[in-house]
Amino acid sequence: MSDEQFISIQNVSKHFGDVHAVDRVSIDIARGEFFSLLGPSGCGKTTLLRMLAGFEFPTAGEIFIDGQAMSTVAPNHRPVNMVFQSYAIFPHLNVSQNIGYSLRKDKLSKADFNSRVGEMLDLIKLSGYEDRASHELSGGERQRVALARALIRRPKVLLLDEPLGALDKQLREQMQLELRSLQRAVGITFVFVTHDQEEALTMSDRIAVMSKGRYLQIDTPTKLYEAPQNREVADFIGTMNFFDASVQDVGDGQASIDAGPLGKLSVSPGNLAFSSGQAALAAIRPEKISISSEKPSGGHVVEGTMDAAAYLGDRSHFYVRVPGVDKPVAVSAQNIDQTHLHGDGNQGQVWLSWSNDAVVLLNKD
Amino acid sequence: MTDRVVSAPDVVTPARLGVVAKYRRAIMRSEALRGYNLLSPTLLFMILFLALPLGLLLVFSFWTQNYLDIDYSFTLANYTKFFDRPVFSYLLGKSILISGSVTIATVILAYPMAYYIAFRVHKHKLVWLILITVPFWTSYLLRVFAWKVILGYNGVINSGLMELGLISEPLEFILYNPFAVVITLAHAWAAFAILPIYVSLEKIDRSLLEAATDLGDTPIMRFFRITLPLSMPGVIAAAMLVFIPTVGDFVTPKMVGGTDGVMIGNVIQSMFGTSHNWPFGASLSIISMTAITIMIVVFLWINRIMRRRA
């Protein structure tokens, strides 16, 4: 066991009848890492989390936590605690009874109990809430109480099942930052399940993007966004423009491709393998394309006509028809001085330009 | 369309409203009135057949029986009679004790059944619930009589045990005593206890149970710390549903209770029947109801204190 394999999920499958909720998944999670399982509902992320908690047992494979095999360990004996999606605050107990729920078997004196609970209340900034009934708490407060309750015995791993889903946008963004700084403060390994890609990108050290019981890619948020390994990941995380391309020549960390209407480009293939003559996809993020109403000099430039524009305050989204490309090309631009693009010239001609390193080369499914 | 608008009558002023229209307007304006309106058939029924008879009973309890006539002068004689003769308060106390035992036995027997249906049955819950009501498809009298057959001198238990050679003479202590009354009533009222307990168990959010396990509880600890406290409303409802009607029961004690199993209900029944003393029967009823009310208030009060301490 090394710190890199603090949690080691080895070839784990979970079948419910004919449904393969989790299908031969192997993931290593490092000690102290904030690790997210990201995917649409039904992708197996929650089942995987519940297997870590011990509420489900794998059909095949083994899970190790801190070197210890979990297949015979009941959930109440595991060194993990969980924050539930619905928070699962015990309705008949007050805040301090909820937070101190797991301390009962330690047979602490009243003073010790209160000081332990008090520490947690300080941590979640809810001091003075000891005697509140659970129904007197707001959504954000319930979330914090659930967090404190799960952390009070300092588990080796904290599991979080979409804990921010029920909060409104503003509170959610605040809680994302708080959760992240809390994780750094306590140094406990967090495994976080979410279907919200923005949430995963904001908080995680690494993310496993899951689909249909398997993972598509495990990487840091930057790598997932900047260098997705396949079309599904590129599509799921953020927005991506795809162009059919054919590989002409591969060599020395560079590949020459013919991207049809976009012309011939020289791009980095990353760690994917390509061979000459192969069909591929050239992918470009909307914000890596520059848009202007006058033809820029130099670089890769194509001409198009404006199809639609959406003003989002800090930035604008444009959809530009380029001859030879099926779907309008999505372009995102910061609203520094682009406002003139919203004028009457909307339907007019625009020029799109990008640099070579903005292009990601992907296998064609 | 425009034609109809033009030929529409003038706006009706309040002064010209008929009785029906006035009533309608009052209904629209007052939420309380709408509520009573909605309740009215039930309310009427309750007043006619519950409140009125209860009032009559109360009035009767202050009259006295004078052989064949009733003396209509107001007197507390019936109540002083109850407290002067210890046999009546003894019978009332015994009735409450028997009903209390029935209640405890029924809840303890019903809880595992309700728990099983709520947590272990995943398909066809409705079928299970209907099966629980099957004993109710036969008459109450028949069910009581069936217990007489089971517990009797030549009954199923005695002949079975004799056949096995475990006893040489029929056991006489199993029928015609308070114990037989408790068994019979506990069986008869089981469904009334199972259903409310089932409902309160069914309502418990399963993630609360998982959370308790996640926080280190063994299944037994979890039951006493989460499941039982959260199902207390159902347990209380079950206890009341069983306790209240069984205190006044007179059929079961009459059929399987023997002389030791006589309850206050038997006395009340005889006052309204063979003994023909309605006023005293009425005051016995009022006293029983008051005693039950006090018992329930005490029960709820204890429960509240226990919950606050938990």
CA angle B265, B269, B275 (to 5 degrees): 130
Q: What is the pLDDT of residue A343?
A: 46
C-alpha R_g of chain A: 25
In this structure, which amino acid lies at residue B195? L
> Residues B282, B275: contact at Cβ < 8 Å?
no
In this structure, which amino acid lies at residue A55? F
Number of domains chain A is built from: 2
In this structure, which amino acid lies at residue B15? A
Looking at A95-109, B23-37, B262-276, which range is the least confident one? B23-37
Our measurement of the distance from residue A251's CA atom to the centroid of its chain's CA atoms, rounded to an integer in Å, reads: 33
Torsion of CA A69, A71, A74, A78, to 10 degrees: 30
**Boundary residue ending a domain (A233, A249, A271):** A233
Question: In sequence order, which ranges of chain A are alpha helices (DSSP H)?
Answer: 45-53, 95-99, 110-123, 139-151, 169-186, 197-203, 221-226, 231-236
pLDDT of residue B49 exceeding 90, the answer is yes
Residues A88 and A203 placed together within one structural domain of the fold: yes
From residue A247, alpha-carbon distances to A67, A255, A322, B102, B165 in Å are 45, 7, 21, 85, 95
The predicted-structure confidence for B88-145, as pLDDT tens digits, reads as follows 999 999 999 999 999 999 999 999 999 999 999 988 999 999 998 888 888 888 988 8
pLDDT of residue A344 exceeding 50, the answer is no
Q: Which residue from A78, A79, A81 is spatially nearest to A148, judged by alpha carbons?
A: A81
Residues A248 and A353 placed together within one structural domain of the fold: yes
End-to-end CA distance of chain A: 36
Residues A294 and A222 placed together within one structural domain of the fold: no
Torsion of CA A252, A254, A260, A264, to 10 degrees: -90
**Boundary residue ending a domain (A233, A259, A288):** A233
* 3-class secondary-structure state, position B153: coil
State the span(s) of chain B assigned CATH 1.10.3720.10. 85-309
Residues A215 and A248 placed together within one structural domain of the fold: no
Q: What is the pLDDT of residue A252?
A: 74
Mutate to test the interface with B, among A84, A117, A143 (most CBs of B within 10 A): A84
Q: What's the average model confidence in pLDDT over B287-308?
A: 89
Which of A113-127, A162-176, A257-271 holds the top average pLDDT?
A113-127
In this structure, which amino acid lies at residue A255? A
Residue with tokens 């293939």: A269
**A45 vs A37: CA distance, rounded Å:** 6
* The two three-digit tokens of residue A157, written as one number: 């791993």
Reported ipTM: 0.84
**Boundary residue ending a domain (A214, A233, A252):** A233
Mutate to test the interface with B, among A65, A92, A116, A135 (most CBs of B within 10 A): A92
Q: What's the average model confidence in pLDDT over B70-87?
A: 89
Residues A216 and A267 placed together within one structural domain of the fold: no
The predicted-structure confidence for A162-206, as pLDDT tens digits, reads as follows 988 878 888 888 888 888 988 988 889 999 999 999 899 999 999
Residues of A in contact with B213 (CB under 8 A): 55, 74-76
Residue with tokens 């989002």: A312
Which CATH number do you get for residue A296? 2.40.50.100
CB within 8 Å of A84: residues ≥ 6 apart:
A146, A161, A163, B207, B210, B211
Q: What is the pLDDT of residue A1?
A: 52
> Residues A272, A234: contact at Cβ < 8 Å?
no
pLDDT band at A99 (very low <50, low <70, confident <90, very high): very high
pLDDT of residue A212 exceeding 60, the answer is yes
**B34 vs A318: CA distance, rounded Å:** 57
The answer to whether A75 contacts B218, with C-beta atoms less than 8 Å apart, is no
**B29 vs B14: CA distance, rounded Å:** 14
**B286 vs B275: CA distance, rounded Å:** 18
Instruction: Supply the DSSP symbol for A84.
Output: -
In this structure, which amino acid lies at residue A188? I
Which of A329-338, B11-20, B93-102, B142-151 holds the top average pLDDT?
B93-102
Residues A268 and A192 placed together within one structural domain of the fold: no
Residues A222 and A255 placed together within one structural domain of the fold: no
pLDDT of residue A255 exceeding 90, the answer is no
Residues A144 and A256 placed together within one structural domain of the fold: no
Residues A189 and A101 placed together within one structural domain of the fold: yes
Which CATH number do you get for residue A107? 3.40.50.300
pLDDT of residue B3 exceeding 80, the answer is no
Q: For chain B, how long is the longest CA-to-CA vector?
A: 101
**A349 vs B26: CA distance, rounded Å:** 68
Residues A228 and A247 placed together within one structural domain of the fold: no
Average pLDDT of chain B to the nearest whole number: 88
Residue with tokens 């001091």: A127
pLDDT of residue A251 exceeding 90, the answer is no
The predicted-structure confidence for B229-250, as pLDDT tens digits, reads as follows 999 999 999 999 999 999 988 8
pLDDT of residue A91 exceeding 50, the answer is yes
Higher pLDDT among residues B222 and A262, named by residue: B222
pLDDT band at A61 (very low <50, low <70, confident <90, very high): very high
Q: Which residue from A229, A187, A185, A188 is spatially nearest to A208, judged by alpha carbons?
A: A229
Q: Which residue from A235, A161, A234 is spatially nearest to A199, judged by alpha carbons?
A: A161
Chain B residue whose CA is closest to A85? B207
Residues A96 and A223 placed together within one structural domain of the fold: yes
Kindly state the percentage of chain A with pLDDT values over 90.
Answer: 49
In this structure, which amino acid lies at residue B62? F
Q: Would you tell me how many other CB atoms lie within 10 Å of the CB of residue B13?
A: 7
pLDDT band at A337 (very low <50, low <70, confident <90, very high): low
**Class of CATH domain B85-309:** mainly alpha
Q: What is the pLDDT of residue B137?
A: 86
Q: Which of residues 71-90 of A touch B (CB under 8 A)?
A: 74-77, 80-82, 84-86, 88, 90
Kindly state the percentage of chain B with pLDDT values over 70.
Answer: 94
The answer to whether A76 contacts B210, with C-beta atoms less than 8 Å apart, is no
The predicted-structure confidence for A313-329, as pLDDT tens digits, reads as follows 888 888 999 988 888 99
Residues A147 and A125 placed together within one structural domain of the fold: yes
Sign, Cα dihedral of A210, A216, A222, A227: negative
From residue B226, alpha-carbon distances to A89, A90, A99, A110, B207 in Å are 11, 8, 14, 21, 11
Higher pLDDT among residues A140 and A208, named by residue: A208
Q: What is the pLDDT of residue A57?
A: 94
The predicted-structure confidence for B182-197, as pLDDT tens digits, reads as follows 999 999 899 899 999 9
Domain range for A143 is 3-233
Q: What is the pLDDT of residue A341?
A: 64
A150 CA: distance to closest CA in chain B (Å): 7
